[in-house]
Structure 1
Amino acid sequence: MNREAIAAFVEASRGAPRLMGVDLGTKTIGLALSDVGRQIASSLETIRRVKFTPDAGRLAELCGRHQVGGLVIGLPLNMDGSEGPRVQSTRSFVRNLKPILPLPVFFHDERLSSAAVNRMLIDADTSRARRGEVVDKLAAAYILQGFLDVMRGLLEAETEEPATW
């Protein structure tokens, strides 16, 4: 992971205390929110995708309400690390979102995030219907928590002190 890119994202997102994790699917958008200390990610909600404008409007509304300073977007890379059509779709969504929601964006590898969350829900004996309701927002929390952990680890390694935001 690129330390300079993470440090630049952290600096650019300092204007507000929280980060939002986004799991962008074709039918839904899973959302998660960090705490103000940027230590813990919690699932927030799942947006049922309709069209770009209302989807982006809802995202912007939630970012304003929760004082979000930056977005951590799950990047759906192929298992070999290459970029396929889903990555292109994600990057296109973010390009179109920029004029509506001018927040810094960090793309974080989301490979296997939904699979990990589904496995956790199955282990918790969650019904198939309930899994369908919560998997996207939990995947967003999984993506955001992964980023928060990497961010904290990299920045603490540079300063040899606990990270503060």
Structure 2
Amino acid sequence: MKRIMGLDVGDKTIGVAVSDPLLLTAQGLKTIARESNKKDIKKIQDIIEEYNISKIVVGLPKNMNNTLGSQGEKVLDFVEKLKRKINIEIILEDERLTTVSAERILLEGDVSRKDRKKIIDKVAASYILQNYLDRR
């Protein structure tokens, strides 16, 4: 069965989430520590094969006034490089407030600051993917 992958692309890490086979729920999968675009994309390709991914949803950070800042430009640049290496539809999902929501959930769950840092990107990727799945 095909699944959808969610990505939260940052400067230091990429949070990765995958949908269940029924495309109803998003689960945080892992956090990729950024090395180089080539290595990062290879890791994403490995996940695509392992989980039979048919579509990727990438969080696009926008400013509150709907403009694109420098982080948004970096994400678009990474997505262009990714598109050259994989032949899967990539959808950009507005990710405003996803990290804030993820942080709130982890705080409510009483997750320590050190542990929050390790999983925040994975949780944010789950939010990005879940928002997309809910709207489908």
TM tier, shorter chain? over 0.9
Structure with greater strand percent = 2
Gaps of at least 5 residues in structure 1 are: 1-15, 152-165
CA deviations 1:120-144 (Å, max 9, x no partner) are 1111111000100110001000110
Counterpart of 2:48 (choices 47, 59, 63) is 63
Matched letter for residue 21 of structure 1: G
Identity of aligned residues (%): 36
Q: CA RMSD in A?
A: 0.8
Q: Secondary structure in 1 aligned to 2:85?
A: coil
Moved over 4 A (4+): none
TM normalised by structure 2 equals 0.97
Q: Which blocks of at least 5 consecutive residues in structure 2 are unaligned?
A: none
Report the Cα offset of residue 99 of structure 1.
2.0
The 5 Å alignment of 1:27-38 reads 27-38=12-23
Residue in 2 that maps onto 1:77: 62
Q: Which of these two proteins has the greater Rg computed from alpha carbons? A: 1
Q: Helix, strand or coil for the counterpart of 1:99?
A: helix
* Alpha-carbon distance, 1:17 to partner: 1.1
* 2: CA distance, partners of 1:29 / 1:70: 17
1:119 is aligned to 104
Does 2:39 align with 1:51?
no
